[in-house]
Amino acid sequence: MKRIALYDTTLRDGCQSEDVSFTLEDKLRIAEKLDDFGIAYIEGGWPGSNPRDEEFFSAVKKLHLKHARVAAFGSTRRANISAAEDFNIRLLLKAETPVVTIVGKTWDLHVRDDLRISKKANLEVIADSIAYLKKRVDEVFFDAEHFFDGYRANPEYAIECLTAAAQAGADVLILCDTCGGRMPHEILAATRAAAQAVTVPLGIHCHNDGEMAVANSLAGVEGGAVQVQGTINGFGERCGNANLCSVIPNLQLKFGYHCVSSPQLKQLAEISRFVYELANIEPTNARRMSASAPLPTRAACMWRRCRRTAKPTNTLTRSWSATPSACWSLTCPAAVTWSTKPSSSASMWRVPTRRSKLFWTR
Ligand SMILES: [Zn+2]
């Protein structure tokens, strides 16, 4: 069975969400939960971006996590200076994590307009940063920023960036849909092309601006990615990141990949609630259903129809009275019984979430 390495960025990308702010204590408790759950990599933050992230990297060493490896996140060196002179790279090393993930440009538009350097110089920035870190850190991951937009505009150059990172010693190349605007068929084709071009393992990192982050993550795995990045409950910048609470059971139960053990999979609803609680965010009914039974089954659909029907038919009433957990347990071992029945006053079909508002008002 093909294994998928899970890379959680709730503590870094998740904290970019405008309604999420974790204390240091929260971050440490979440790291312990993620470790118990079987997450392979926990991205703790960006050293130097704020004092809390710096404190986290020194405090997390005392937790003695059982399985998970902690990653520090940062960017490639600035142009025109060496990696050794780059302040951010020095801070990454100061975090003393076994894994460092650095993000670099792979879209020629950004190389020209943001960095304002030549395409060749950007390849040197990528290669030099990775080679320097690889001599000092156990594992170095390269986040290929805007890879799918870059591949669409200039596929040869986007692949050249991956090749430069691979030749410099990157352990995993993570293909990022940073804007969250690409569709699954595009993700699948570009990931397959990347997998043919390089032998280094690939990862997938999707944002949810088009409500496609989960589907795109699955497409990335189908295309050859063996590492999946996301956050618990889909927290993240703008419309959020790929929701690991949906991605994991889909990969494991529908696609047959191994992400976590069966007992760990049963902890999924609990970890979702735990993170909601620490974030002080009330899950909507839709989110609660997603955490309890991530796959929309017939029972869930029936229940939704009941909720929208003023006078449910006998058939629908019978389906609902059978309780969804009973139906879900047939198809989803991760399903747990709801601790509370959804409130009859809940209006999940009328009140938009902040994220859907953001998407539809663009
Ligand atoms: Zn991201």
Q: Which pLDDT tens digit goes with each residue over 121-159?
A: 999 999 999 999 999 999 999 999 999 999 999 999 999
CA 207 to ligand 1 centroid distance, Å: 6
95 exposure class (CB count in 10 Å sphere: 0-12, 13-18, 19+): buried
Q: What tens digit of pLDDT does each residue of 14-40 get?
A: 999 988 999 999 999 999 999 999 999
Q: Amino acid identity of 321? A: S
**Structural domain contains residue 199:** yes
**Structural domain contains residue 258:** yes
Residues 257, 314, single domain; the answer is no
Domains identified in the chain, total number? 2
- Mean pLDDT estimate for the chain: 84
Q: 217 or 318: which carries more pLDDT confidence?
A: 217
Q: Tell me, what's the pLDDT at 49?
A: 86
At 338, the pLDDT band (50, 70, 90 cuts) reads very low
Q: Where is the domain boundary, 219, 247, 279?
A: 279
CA 148 to ligand 1 centroid distance, Å: 13
**Residue 200 CB partners (closer than 8 Å, separation 6+):** 162, 165, 166, 170, 171, 172, 173
Q: Tell me, what's the pLDDT at 291?
A: 52
Q: How far apart are CA 67 and CA 34, in angstroms?
A: 9
CA 174 to ligand 1 centroid distance, Å: 11
Q: Which of 223, 53, 169, 208 is nearest to 42 (CA)?
A: 53
Distance (Å) of CA 8 to CA 16, 38, 43, 73, 189: 14, 11, 6, 12, 25
Q: Tell me, what's the pLDDT at 340?
A: 35
Residues 226, 303, single domain; the answer is no
CA 229 to ligand 1 centroid distance, Å: 9
Q: What does residue 259 show for φ and ψ, rounded to 5 degrees?
A: -110, -50
**Residue 90 CB partners (closer than 8 Å, separation 6+):** none
Q: Where is the domain boundary, 209, 244, 279?
A: 279
What's 218's domain CATH number? 3.20.20.70
Residues 317, 203, single domain; the answer is no
Q: Tell me, what's the pLDDT at 337?
A: 31
- Contact by Cβ (8 Å): 267, 45: no
Range list of H helices, the chain: 24-37, 51-60, 87-94, 108-110, 119-134, 147-153, 155-168, 184-197, 213-223, 244-249, 262-265, 268-279, 285-292, 298-308, 314-321, 324-331, 354-360
Q: Print the domain residue range for 315.
A: 296-331
Residues 119, 200, single domain; the answer is yes
44 CB-side CA count, 13 A: 34
Residues 314, 242, single domain; the answer is no
**Structural domain contains residue 342:** no
Q: Where is the domain boundary, 245, 279, 313?
A: 279
Residues 306, 255, single domain; the answer is no
CA 13 to ligand 1 centroid distance, Å: 6
Q: Tell me, what's the pLDDT at 345?
A: 36
CA 328 to ligand 1 centroid distance, Å: 32
Residues 172, 309, single domain; the answer is no
CA 277 to ligand 1 centroid distance, Å: 23
pLDDT exceeds cutoff 90 at 334: no
Distance (Å) of CA 21 to CA 13, 108, 126, 142: 11, 34, 31, 26
CA 205 to ligand 1 centroid distance, Å: 7
Q: Amino acid identity of 354? A: R
Residues 306, 159, single domain; the answer is no
Residues 312, 264, single domain; the answer is no
Residues 207, 153, single domain; the answer is yes
Q: How far apart are CA 183 and CA 187, in angstroms?
A: 6
**Structural domain contains residue 350:** no
Q: Which of 252, 233, 256, 255 is nearest to 244 (CA)?
A: 233
Q: Is the pTM of this model over 0.75?
A: yes
**Structural domain contains residue 286:** no
CA 158 to ligand 1 centroid distance, Å: 18
CA 241 to ligand 1 centroid distance, Å: 7
Q: Tell me, what's the pLDDT at 332?
A: 37
Residues 184, 327, single domain; the answer is no
Q: Which of 140, 50, 52, 59 is nearest to 93 (CA)?
A: 140
**Structural domain contains residue 12:** yes
Residues 300, 212, single domain; the answer is no
**Structural domain contains residue 291:** no
CA 302 to ligand 1 centroid distance, Å: 35
CA 72 to ligand 1 centroid distance, Å: 14
Q: What tens digit of pLDDT does each residue of 78-101 get?
A: 999 999 999 999 999 999 999 999
**Residue 202 CB partners (closer than 8 Å, separation 6+):** 172, 173, 174, 175, 191, 194, 195, 220, 223, 224, 225, 226, 227
Please, what's the b/e burial string for 290-314 (b: 16 or more CB within 10 A of its CB; e: otherwise)?
Answer: bbbbbbebebbebbbeebeeeebee
Q: Tell me, what's the pLDDT at 1?
A: 79
CA 276 to ligand 1 centroid distance, Å: 20
**Structural domain contains residue 50:** yes
